Structures are given as C-alpha cells and as structure tokens.
A = this chain, B = another copy of it.
Amino acid sequence: MKVTITDVAKKAGVSIKTVSRVLNNEPNVAEKTREHVKAIADELRYFPNLAARGLATSKSFLIALIYDNPTPNYISLIQRGAIEACREARYHLVVEPMSLVGAASYDEKVKLTREVLDRLPVDGVILTPPLSDDKAVLAVLKELGVKSVRIAPKNEMALPCVGMDDETAAYEMTQFLLSKGHERIGFIQGHVDHSSAGLRYAGFARAMRTAGVDVVDDLVAQGDFSYESGVQAARELLSVPQEARPTAIFASNDDMAAAVISVAGQMGIDVPCSLSVCGFDDTPLARVIWPALTTVKQPIYKMGYQATKELVRKADDLSGNSQILDFEIKVRGSVTALK
C-alpha cells in the first residue's frame, strides 16, 4: 500500500540507511547518490512514516498549542502563524484547549496539565495568555522537561517568550489621546490574570504622569477583556454628570472598546464628537464597528510564527531569550481632537 523506505531503497539500489541519510540531510553521502535517491523518493511520492520515525527517535514532530478560552480571533491568528512555522520545519500542530482559569485549584491545574502532556508527548509547547502566566502550568512544563515558548510580554522562569511591549504601546496610545487635547481620560483595565493587562495600565499611567495629568481613580474601571465587562465598565464611567464625564476612554482591548461605543450610543452620547474611544489589539471588529476603532495593532500572527520557529529550531539553547515584536497604532474614526 503505502510506500516505505524499503521500496525507495530497492528501487534506488542502495540500503535503507542511505535513503534515511538522504532524507534527513545527513552528511557523508556522495552527491550523486543523494540526487539519485531524492529523485526516486519524489517519483515514488514517498513520505517517511511519522510514527516509525517518532518511535526510533523518540520525537513526535508535534507541537502543541495550549490555550484557555482566548478570543477566537486571537487564537486563530496565533494558530495560523504557528502552523506556518510548523510546515516549514515539517512539524504538525495539535491544539489543546484547557479550562483552567478561575475554576481550578493549583493542584487541579497541575493534574489537568500533566494529563494533557502525558497523553500526547509533544516536542514543544506554545503557551498563550493567560496560561503563559499560570504558575501551575509552568511548573508542570518544567517538571516534564517539555520545551516551551510563552507568548507573553515579559520573560519568566527562564522560559523564552515572544511578545510585544504592551507598556510602551499603551503609553504611546495615551500620548496620542493627550495630544488630541484629552485630559479626562477614562481607562478600562483587562483581566487580572493577564500580565499584559497590568502592563497596559502601567503604560497609560506613565503617560499621564509624564504629561503632568493626574490619574483619577473614578476614571479607572475594572474589566476582564470581555464585551460584557466592557458594558459594565462603560456604564460606570459614563453614568455621571456630564461635567464629570471623561472626554475619552481607553479600553484595554477592542471588545471592551466596542462595548463603550455601544453603551454610549444607548445613552445618547455621540462617538467620537462627545466621546473619543480607543482600544487595543486591532481585531477585525475594530474596522467593522461604527465609528471604526482607533487601536493598537498587535503582531499576533507573527507571535505564533516566531514562537513556533523557536521551538522547532535544531539548537536546544532556547534558554530564556525573549523576542519583542513591533506594534503599530491604528488611527481611525473613534478618536477626535477635543474642541
């Protein structure tokens, strides 16, 4: 049925070991032999059997993408990037969603994570937020000695990471609002489990401080990155006398920013004339709502790609090096200068 290495070897008139060498780009094969074997392999449309190869090398050629309930758009971009990198290295991506956040205790988390990794021994793991900051998950990864890369804004536990500089991005976005004359700027924080949430707030606060503007407690609301939490937070921020109302709101992600626009609409507050709004992430949503959202474009696809690239790299020296990718501020209709 399926073509095996033996078939190729026979047809090429060499031993299976030589074929193996050619296929794995090992040295010490005569150039002529190499070409010949390659040609035969192509002709026979031979592909090595992953299971056999895996058994012999105790590798699986599988990379796991472990995530917990992120937004579909985010995970789908990460995934796409990861798969691209996998393909280039002849790896495959298996996806493993988990349900750890909030619900489970530390021990429970350890157990669940271990189970996933025991059942399917992979060659590498990509962790997305908020799992990339989860102590239990990281502990298991270390215990099992699984190569892993975190998608996260900052290095942790000597594990390599790929991310962007959330703090600076938020800083620059806040500067942008300030440059438009806004001073009463509301801020909606993200989920406390995501380290990026804290960094975004920090960037906002730093920009305000730098500009000599006080951060008013009443203008900072807690959200959790969900649309619903954005609705809640927006109501809090906007249900005050008009003179106490912020002239701009910076939400920690696009979903919550969309919620602000929606709530403002319901309250008869015109966006952007009476209220400027900006978000973070540049999800497709940002261009789809009206007015289009001013937001920070994250290089999500690239994060997935780079993280995976790092995992499939031959060298095993992926010790704690981190990659910070560029962001971009997308200026759209939801922000105007204060009159």
Which A residues contact B (CB, under 8 angstroms)?
A: 2, 45, 47, 49-52, 54-55, 60, 62, 72-73, 75-77, 79-80, 83, 90, 92-97, 114, 118-121, 227, 255, 258-259, 261-262, 265-266, 284-285, 287-290
Q: Which 5 A-B pairs have the closest CB atoms?
A: A72-B76, A51-B54, A51-B55, A262-B290, A72-B72
Residues of B within 8 A of A2 (CB): 121
* Contact between A79 and B92, CB atoms less than 8 A apart: no
* Contact between A83 and B55, CB atoms less than 8 A apart: no
> How far is the CB of A168 from the nearest CB of chain B, in Å?
27
> How far is the CB of A264 from the nearest CB of chain B, in Å?
9
Residues of B within 8 A of A119 (CB): 47, 90
* Contact between B94 and A93, CB atoms less than 8 A apart: yes
Residues of B within 8 A of A83 (CB): 95-97
Question: Smallest CB-CB separation from A79: which chain B residue?
Answer: B95
Question: Smallest CB-CB separation from A116: which chain B residue?
Answer: B87
The answer for the CA separation of A120 and B120 in the assembled complex, in Å, is 16
Question: Smallest CB-CB separation from A64: which chain B residue?
Answer: B92
* Contact between B92 and A94, CB atoms less than 8 A apart: yes
Residues of B within 8 A of A55 (CB): 49, 51-52, 55
> How far is the CB of A39 from the nearest CB of chain B, in Å?
17
Residues of B within 8 A of A285 (CB): 285, 288
CB within 8 A of A95: which of B77, B93, B266, B290?
A: B93
The answer for the CA separation of A52 and B121 in the assembled complex, in Å, is 12
The answer for the CA separation of A287 and B289 in the assembled complex, in Å, is 12
Residues of B within 8 A of A49 (CB): 55, 121
Question: Smallest CB-CB separation from A259: which chain B residue?
Answer: B288
The answer for the CA separation of A96 and B93 in the assembled complex, in Å, is 8
The answer for the CA separation of A80 and B99 in the assembled complex, in Å, is 12
Residues of B within 8 A of A262 (CB): 288-290
The answer for the CA separation of A62 and B49 in the assembled complex, in Å, is 14
> How far is the CB of A10 from the nearest CB of chain B, in Å?
20
CB within 8 A of A50: which of B114, B120, B290?
A: B120
> How far is the CB of A98 from the nearest CB of chain B, in Å?
10
Q: List 11 A-B contacts (CB under 8 A).
A: A50-B51, A50-B121, A51-B52, A72-B72, A72-B75, A72-B77, A76-B76, A258-B288, A258-B289, A285-B285, A285-B288
The answer for the CA separation of A108 and B118 in the assembled complex, in Å, is 39
* Contact between A118 and B258, CB atoms less than 8 A apart: no
Residues of B within 8 A of A75 (CB): 72, 76
Instruction: Pick the most buried of A51, A77, A83, A121: most chain B CB atoms within 10 A of its CB.
Output: A51
